[in-house]
Structure 1
Amino acid sequence: MSEESWSDTLGWALGQASALAMMFGGVVPYIPQYLDIKRSENTEGFSLYVCLVLLIANTLRILFWFGHWFELPLLFQSIIMNVTMIMLIKLCVAIKNRGQIVHNKEHVFTDFDYDYFWEWTDVQSYIEFMLTFTTFGCLLMFIFIDTSIFVETVGFISVLTEALLAVPQFYKNFISKSTFGMSRKMVLMWLMGDTFKTIYFWQRSAPLQFFVCGCLQIGIDIAVLFQCLLYRKKKSHLIN
């Protein structure tokens, strides 16, 4: 095989590896957090709003694909991430329900009680909310799919929402002045994954909003890591 053929083969292999990393790499940071929660049966250190942010962001990205096609690995990444978030929510809800000494009143999506938004006591409510959001989004995309400004706005909101992924966790840490229950491994993997993803966006000429918001995401990840140092002596025992 000629040197040029070897170079082409290597380039193809690296491209396939990068695509697979994009598809499945996004869920890797949540594996240690999932295992930590399952082992400790404690959900207090993890903000379920992280799941909300990711579900909204990736659902919008899927809708954006129909109006502005981009690489399939990014589309598959969003589908895989949504499934992962539902699994994480299922675990958290189950543990919270088991941990209740006194059985409190159930709170479900169809109550339409704003005070308990995203604090429902059954997994079905989270799924119902996402189905409602997705249906409404599909309807709007169907109506305005030929309107470029609408489609591009959906794409921008998608990546901006994902860029703010770590904000709920940052806020939770800030309020409690602690990072107890939060996996450092998860945050480190956020940073590594977001750095890889941003470089991938740049090299593959993804829509500009993907790259800009990737840079923002890296900055927020660093801020959460700084909290790990800031609160390490304030009654925090970080879970490894």
Structure 2
Amino acid sequence: MNNNSTPNVKDHVTEQEWQMRVNLAACYRLIASYGWDDLVFTHISARVPDTEDEFLINPYGLLFEEITASNLVKVNQAGEKVSSSAFDINPAGFTIHSAVHEARNDAHCVIHLHTSDGVAVSTQQQGLLPISQQSLFPLSNLAYHDYEGVALNPEEKVRLVADLGEANFMILRNHGLLTCASTVADAFLYMYIMQKACEVQIKAQSGGSTLTLISPQILAGIQAASKQVTKEANGDIAWPALLRKLRRTDPSFEE
């Protein structure tokens, strides 16, 4: 079904939910514009404001460049639709997201991607290396989760959230990248920084020279101040400008 056939839901939701829908749709469009999407796979989810167990996620089968505020699907913790929608969601995709949302009250937005550079770093035993300034932000509170196959097993959720702990950045080994935050803007900026760190790492390794690692003392200092470091990487710094860019190029995300 074409997303243009989706009725506008603005008049049927709260102002707070509509704003979350606009921000989440913008995040999908930005991921597509940076080339980080994976056809109709991977997901970004957001908690509906003032609820504990209602979430917004993409309609399964639409490209990220087709996502709008109105065609996002509202589901409960079990991935069941709680409002009328012509679209279904990918249950395997929501397994990871529901686990993080349930375990972390502060995780209002969760982004999971399969970028080539992110997956490439996830396959390396040493994971993300401290070789760039960009790498220091995710390394300030980075978690890892071992690959267990396609995310269909509910029992994996327990292990995933245990591995995540209080981190905002996660590398899913042999799989991809994940960030979570209290706002869509923060989750996007976290992903932007971690993705950039992965791109730098793969390019640096392809140069064939010995890599220069950032000193353990600097890295330890960053990790000791992890909450302060990540909070200073505030998505609101860049988010308004990114929204302005989207509105200039294709404002249909707000429909």
Which TM-score band applies after superposition, normalised by the shorter structure?
Answer: under 0.3
- Which structure has more strand as a fraction of its residues? 2
Higher Cα Rg: structure 1 or 2? Answer: 1
The TM-score, its normalising length taken from structure 2, stands at 0.25
TM-score by length of 1: 0.26
Higher relative contact order (CA 8 A, sep 6+): 1
